[in-house]
Amino acid sequence: MGFIYGIILPLKHKGKHSDLKAATTAVVIFALGASAAFGFDSRAWQTRLVAFDREAERMRAACSNCAARVAAPAFDMTVPIDMYPSGAVKVSLRAARAQPFVDEGLIWAEGVVATMFDANGAEEGRAEVESGVFDWKSRSGWGEGRAKVVYRGSRMEGVGIFFSVEESFAKIHSAVKIEFEGVDVKSSVAGNGKGADKKKKGAGK
């Protein structure tokens, strides 16, 4: 399963999605994968969101710390950061400049493009950030500055993105704009991901 993005905020409707007009506030899922779940009213899930926010702050601080210590970056570096059980690359990261911080298990990168592939090697999506850091142990990271994610025609962009490969979770922190199957969304964002309560099957119905 790929990343799942969840948001709770008003929708701007257009085209065939006018049937959503009954919802003044709705849950929209931007899912990089086959499944998505709504669970924002789950107490357990809210606890996990708090934990994600704490990890995001840790990774954000790590990003600033690493950026200040970059001394001998490599250029045009490409590394896989997630794999399928078969050994095929699931997510690869390409950077214009990158420097590993081996003792800390981190890699800092600038001009980042992360490409997502299906199990057959076909490209499914792409994420771009100005700069960021990835923690090999926790398999989480932070992207600084403008961030843009495109997946199967859907698109999300904003400023500052936290992601967890292990938890299939990502959250853009501000100035969010979503284009999801003809629905435009602009606001701040809350995340969704693996382990969310699956009791809710839809929104705005």
- What are 5-46's pLDDT values in tens digits? 443 333 333 333 333 332 222 223 333 333 344 444 567 778
Q: Are 23 and 9 in contact (CB under 8 A)?
A: no
Could you tell me the pTM of the whole model? 0.70
Answer yes or no: is 141 within a domain. Answer: yes
Answer yes or no: is 93 within a domain. Answer: yes
- Cα(26)–Cα(8) distance, rounded to whole angstroms? 6
- State residue 189's pLDDT score: 43
Lowest mean pLDDT among 35-44, 52-61, 121-130, 171-180: 35-44
Answer yes or no: is 48 within a domain. Answer: yes
Answer yes or no: is 205 within a domain. Answer: no
Amino acid (1-letter code) at residue 11: L
Q: Which residues contact 91 (CB under 8 A, 6 or more apart)?
A: 80, 81, 82, 114, 115, 116, 117, 165
Q: Domain tally for the chain?
A: 1
Region 43-65: mean pLDDT is 91
Flag whether pLDDT at 122 surpasses 90. Answer: yes
- State residue 186's pLDDT score: 52
- Phi, then psi, of 157 in degrees rounded to 5: -145, 160
Answer yes or no: is 85 within a domain. Answer: yes
State what percent of residues in the chain have pLDDT above 90.
47
- State residue 100's pLDDT score: 96
pLDDT tens digits, one per residue of 73-96: 999 999 999 999 999 999 999 999
Region 57-83: mean pLDDT is 95
- State residue 184's pLDDT score: 55
- State residue 170's pLDDT score: 82
Domain that holds residue 135: 4-187
pLDDT tens digits, one per residue of 162-193: 988 888 788 888 888 887 665 555 544 444 44
- State residue 183's pLDDT score: 54
Answer yes or no: is 71 within a domain. Answer: yes
Answer yes or no: is 193 within a domain. Answer: no
DSSP state of 98: E
How high is the mean pLDDT of the chain? 75
Structure tokens given for 126:
């792409």
Answer yes or no: is 123 within a domain. Answer: yes
